[in-house]
Amino acid sequence: MTMVDVTVIGGGLAGLACAQSLESRGRTCVVLEAGDAVGGRVRTDRVDGHLVDRGFQVLLDSYPELPRVVDPSSLGLRSFIAGARVRTRDGWGRVTHPLRHPVAAVMDRFAGSMRWSDALALAPLAWRAWRGGALPSLGATSAHGVVVNAGVGAATIDSFLRPFFAGVFLDPSMQADAAAFDFRFSMFARGRATLPSQGMGMLPTAMSARVAPGTIRLGTRVRGIDRSGTGWTAIVDGGAMQSRAIVLATDGPSTRALVGSLPERPWCSTMQFTFDIARAEAPAAMLSPILFLDGLSRGPVNHAAAVSVVQPSYAPAGRVQWSANVVDPSWLAHADGTIEAAVREQLCGWFGTTAPQSWRLLRAQRVEHALPRQHAGDRPPEGSASPEPGVILAGDQVGDASINGAIASGRHAAELAERVLAG
């Protein structure tokens, strides 16, 4: 039986961040990952020459935890235009980040993309977030309450803010916790949405390169954990791993299978349709490195992007990779084929052409447990990170459900494990 200081179960971002932090403290650890690669839900597959992320994801270069675990300059990041094109009853409008693209933002206002009163209401929020300050909630507990209290009108909330943050939280309700909304609003205000040169899976791969050789064991599923004297034993197929502490850095359902007393947290789902299009045949309107939003809330597509226009390495030469994403639970209740047909019909309307009917579908992927719901009260209370002495939780189940939150929770888990080892 092998003995280490800490066994980390799960090789996602939280588990990798935890291992990095433990090893920097001189502690021995092993990361047990059931899958064939690190990353958890942050994975990239190669499909017919395309790099296809598992669900539409972006990496915000403003995340404060990012430089702790990887050199961002090594990722070959390319960024979206800071803003969005919004489909309305009058066609395409555009909303641009006023502090990054001030001239374009003013032009957007004159074009009628957003009411001047709403632009003036959002401007101080953007400025405060840019400067690193918290948004004034004025007693609001939800994202919707924050923007209403700021004076933003219903038309801008429903046509722009709702679909934009539905893409962030995978939840179109605008009921995300005010603090979670504050953090993301600040990150978008201060940074850029980017894609790594080798897909989002490049981030966990780069993180894994910073832990000692042999630390990560792929294809190793943990069947159970047991008390073992003053420590713990992780039971795996054909053996066991003994350690003084265990970090559970798996998703909620997997963690509950090992520690059954944990409460269940509601989850949000998504479905991604990834299309391969000949660049010469792609509508010119879609060949922009910007996010496209459904400002009409008719769906099924909430947000979409020509990801290979943002990051050319995502598609072979002469091809375009288009990602269309569904988050509305009422649409996700339908069969895959029904949703795909509606997606193609919606995109025909968006671009005024029947071309989407013949676009080649690279992959249609449902992600049932994509993100934990983040309404007020959904996050576990402080102190729940250690359900039993020597067992420490990390990841979505105890922290903010974002890339930054996963990394931060791994670092915090390592700090808690250090207390166990020291004590």
Q: pLDDT, tens digit, for every residue of 11-56?
A: 999 999 999 999 999 999 999 999 999 999 999 999 999 999 999 9
In a domain, residue 130? The reply is: yes
Plot region of 140 (φ>0 → left; ψ -120 to 50 → alpha; else → beta): beta
Residues spanned by the domain of 321: 44-78+267-372
Report the domain count for the chain: 3
Closest alpha carbon to 271 in 42, 54, 86, 35: 54
Quote the CA–CA distance of 119 and 105 in Å, as a whole number: 9
Plot region of 297 (φ>0 → left; ψ -120 to 50 → alpha; else → beta): left
- Please indicate, yes or no, whether residues 153 and 290 belong to a single structural domain of this protein: no
In a domain, residue 386? The reply is: yes
CATH code of 383's domain:
3.50.50.60
In a domain, residue 321? The reply is: yes
Q: Give the SS3 label for residue 8.
A: strand
- Please indicate, yes or no, whether residues 187 and 137 belong to a single structural domain of this protein: yes
- Please indicate, yes or no, whether residues 383 and 259 belong to a single structural domain of this protein: yes
Which pLDDT does position 160 carry in this prediction? 92
Geometric angle at alpha carbon 174, from 168 and 177, rounded to 5°:
80
How many Cα neighbours within 13 Å face the side chain of 23? 22
Flag whether pLDDT at 343 surpasses 90: yes
- Please indicate, yes or no, whether residues 292 and 171 belong to a single structural domain of this protein: no
In a domain, residue 196? The reply is: no
Q: Round the average pLDDT of the chain to a whole number and report it.
A: 91
Flag whether pLDDT at 1 surpasses 70: no
Query: What is the average pLDDT across 133-151?
Result: 85
Which pLDDT does position 134 carry in this prediction? 73
Quick: pLDDT tens for 80-125: 998 899 999 888 988 877 556 444 444 444 344 667 688 778 877 8
In a domain, residue 333? The reply is: yes
Which pLDDT does position 292 carry in this prediction? 97
Which pLDDT does position 384 carry in this prediction? 58
- Please indicate, yes or no, whether residues 208 and 232 belong to a single structural domain of this protein: yes
Which pLDDT does position 106 carry in this prediction? 43
Query: What is the average pLDDT across 310-328?
Result: 98
Closest alpha carbon to 268 in 173, 343, 382: 173
Which pLDDT does position 274 carry in this prediction? 98
In a domain, residue 239? The reply is: yes
Q: 188 φ, ψ to 5°?
A: -70, -35
Closest alpha carbon to 361 in 286, 273, 301: 273
- Greatest CA span in the chain, whole angstroms? 71
- Please indicate, yes or no, whether residues 295 and 313 belong to a single structural domain of this protein: yes
- Please indicate, yes or no, whether residues 155 and 87 belong to a single structural domain of this protein: yes
From 191, 219, 246, the end of a domain falls on 191
- Please indicate, yes or no, whether residues 50 and 30 belong to a single structural domain of this protein: no
- The single-letter code of the amino acid at 339 is I
The proportion of the chain whose per-residue pLDDT surpasses 70, expressed as a percent, equals: 94
Which pLDDT does position 222 carry in this prediction? 96
- Please indicate, yes or no, whether residues 102 and 172 belong to a single structural domain of this protein: yes
Quick: pLDDT tens for 246-274: 999 998 888 888 887 777 789 999 999 99
Quick: pLDDT tens for 282-305: 999 999 999 999 999 888 999 999
Flag whether pLDDT at 162 surpasses 50: yes
- Please indicate, yes or no, whether residues 316 and 418 belong to a single structural domain of this protein: no
State the DSSP code for 67.
H
- Please indicate, yes or no, whether residues 245 and 392 belong to a single structural domain of this protein: yes
Query: What is the average pLDDT across 65-84?
Result: 96
From 191, 209, 231, the end of a domain falls on 191
Model confidence at 168, pLDDT cuts 50, 70, 90, reads: very high
In a domain, residue 99? The reply is: yes
Residues 6+ apart with CB under 8 A from 385: 392, 393, 394, 398, 412, 413, 416
Whole-prediction pTM value? 0.94
Quote the CA–CA distance of 344 and 315 in Å, as a whole number: 20
CATH code of 328's domain:
3.90.660.20
- Please indicate, yes or no, whether residues 228 and 85 belong to a single structural domain of this protein: no
- Residue 81 β-bridge partners: none
Quick: pLDDT tens for 218-241: 999 999 999 988 899 999 988 899
From 170, 191, 212, the end of a domain falls on 191
Model confidence at 382, pLDDT cuts 50, 70, 90, reads: low
Query: What is the average pLDDT across 180-189?
Result: 91
Q: Which of 129-133, 254-258, 364-368 has the highest mean pLDDT?
A: 364-368
- Residue 96 β-bridge partners: 83
Length of the chain: 423
In a domain, residue 11? The reply is: yes
